[in-house]
C-alpha cells in the first residue's frame, strides 16, 4: 500500500513525534509499504490532496494537531483510512477535564479536579486541598505540569500553563505507584509499572524520554486483583470515549491497591521502547507485528 506517515507538527511535542517516526518509517518499509513522509508543520495546505492519493495514513503526532482530531477530520474528508481514534473521540480524549466527566459518568475512579480557565486567571481560587498537580487541560508528555505544595506556588503554576495558551486542570495529588494499561483492538494489554528517578517528583518529560529516565517494568509486579481492576477500568474508558484501534491509560495505585485513572492517550508513543509497544511485546507482538495490527484495525474501522 501507499502509506502516508504523518509526524512532526507544531506542538511542544514535535521532537518526540519526529523521533518515533523514524522507526515507524523503517517498519512500514519492512512490511512492504511505499511510504511518503508528511509533516503538517511544513506542508499543511496539501494534506487533503496527498491523502486522496494514499491508501492509508499512519499518524504519529502528539498534542495538537493530531491528538485533537484535526488531522483525522481531514483524512475523513479524503476517505483515507488511518489507525486509532476518529476526530470526535480524539478531541474528547485530549481534553482531560472532558474525559474526566466521562470517567465519572461511568463510575470510574479518577482524582478530584477543577478546571481553571484563562478568563479566571492566576487569581482563581484553589478548591482542592494541597498538594495538587496543575497541568495543561490539553497536551501530553507532562509538559507544563507542576506539583504545587504551597498556596504561593499555585498562581505561578497557573501562569506556566496559561503561557502555553491552555486552560489548567488542577488535580488532587494521590501518592502511589504509576501504572499504565494499553488497549489493542478489543484486548487490554499487560500493565507497565513506572518508577521515576529518585530525584524526580513525578513522571515528567525527562523521565519519559531521557536515556537514564524512569524504570519501566512489564508485566507490572502487582496483584492479579489490581491487574483485573485496571484492565476493566481501561476497557470501559476506551469504549466510553468512543475510541477505536488502540489507546493507553495512565493510573495511580495507592498503597492499599486502589487504582485511579488519570487520562487516556489516543496516539501513544511508538518507539520500540515506548510503553504500549513494550506491553505488546510481552504478548508476543514484535514492533513490526504491532504496526501491521494497527493498520489492519484502521482499515477495519473505516471500511
Q: Is residue 196 packed enough to be buried (19+ CB in 10 Å), middle (13-18) or exposed (0-12)?
A: middle
Catalytic residue among 17, 141, 207, 274: 141
60 is catalytic: no
Active-site annotation holder among 27, 167, 265, 274? 265
Active-site annotation holds for 250: yes
Q: Which of 263, 274, 278, 298 is catalytic?
A: 263
Question: 10 Å Cβ neighbour count for 220?
Answer: 22
Q: Which of 82, 167, 250, 281 is catalytic?
A: 250
Q: Identify the active-site residue in 248, 249, 274, 298.
A: 248
d(Cα 103, Cα 98) in Å, to the nearest integer? 9
As beta bridge partners, residue 68 has none
Q: Is 263 part of the annotated catalytic residue set?
A: yes
- In eight-state DSSP terms, residue 148 is E
Is 95 one of the catalytic residues? no
How many C-beta atoms surround the C-beta of residue 45 within 10 A? 7
First to last CA, the chain: 15
**Helix, strand or coil, per DSSP, at residue 107:** coil
Whose cell is 510481552? That residue is 282
Distance CA 281, CA 101 (A): 33
From 8, 11, 12, 13, active-site residue:
13
Annotated catalytic residue within 9, 11, 69, 209: 209
| Catalytic residue list contains 246 | no
35 close to 57: Cβ distance less than 8 angstroms: no
* Catalytic residue list contains 288: no
Dist CA 249 CA 265 (whole Å): 6
Helices (H) and strands (E) in the chain, counts: 11, 13
Angle at which helices 287-301 and 14-30 cross, to 10°:
90
Instruction: Name the residue among 78, 38, 82, 34 with its Cα closest to residue 57.
Output: 82
Catalytic residue among 144, 269, 281, 298: 269
Residue 211 to residue 208: CA distance in whole angstroms: 9
Please list the active-site residues. Answer: 13, 141, 209, 248, 250, 263, 265, 269
Amino acid at each position: 500500500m501507499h502509506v502516508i506517515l504523518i509526524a512532526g507538527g507544531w506542538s511542544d511535542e514535535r521532537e518526540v513525534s519526529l523521533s518515533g517516526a523514524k522507526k515507524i518509517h523503517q517498519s512500514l518499509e519492512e512490511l512492504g509499504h511505499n511510504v511518503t513522509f508528511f509533516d503538517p508543520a511544513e506542508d499543511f495546505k496539501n494534506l487533503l490532496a496527498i491523502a486522496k492519493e494514499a491508501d492509508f495514513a499512519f499518524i504519529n503526532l502528539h498534542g495538537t494537531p493530531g491528538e485533537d482530531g484535526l488531522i483525522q477530520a481531514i483524512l475523513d474528508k479524503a476517505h483515507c483510512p488511518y489507525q486509532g481514534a476518529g476526530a470526535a473521540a480524539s478531541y474528547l480524549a485530549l481534553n482531560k477535564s472532558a474525559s474526566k466527566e466521562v470517567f465519572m459518568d461511568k463510575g470510574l475512579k479518577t482524582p478530584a479536579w477543577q478546571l481553571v480557565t484563562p478568563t479566571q486567571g492566576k487569581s482563581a481560587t484553589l478548591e482542592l486541598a494541597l498538594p495538587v498537580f496543575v497541568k495543561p487541560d490539553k497536551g501530553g508528555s507532562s509538559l507544563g505540569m507542576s506539583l504545587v505544595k504551597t498556596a504561593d506556588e499555585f498562581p505561578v503554576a497557573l501562569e506556566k500553563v496559561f503561557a502555553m495558551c491552555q486552560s489548567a486542570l488542577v488535580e488532587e495529588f494521590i501518592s502511589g505507584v504509576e501504572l499504565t494499561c494499553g488497549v489493542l483492538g478489543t484486548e487490554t494489554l499487560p500493565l507497565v509499572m513506572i518508577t521515576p528517578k529518585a530525584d524526580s517528583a513525578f513522571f515528567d518529560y525527562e523521565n519519559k524520554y531521557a536515556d537514564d529516565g524512569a524504570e519501566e517494568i512489564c508485566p507490572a509486579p502487582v496483584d492479579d486483583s489490581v491487574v483485573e481492576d485496571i484492565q476493566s477500568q481501561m476497557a470501559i474508558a476506551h469504549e466510553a470515549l468512543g475510541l477505536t484501534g488502540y489507546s493507553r491509560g495512565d493510573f495511580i495505585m495507592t498503597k492499599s491497591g486502589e487504582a485511579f485513572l488519570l487520562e487516556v492517550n489516543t496516539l501513544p508513543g511508538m518507539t520500540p521502547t515506548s510503553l504500549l509497544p513494550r506491553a505488546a511485546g510481552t504478548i508476543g507482538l514484535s514492533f513490526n507485528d504491532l504496526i501491521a495490527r494497527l493498520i489492519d484495525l484502521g482499515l477495519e474501522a473505516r471500511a
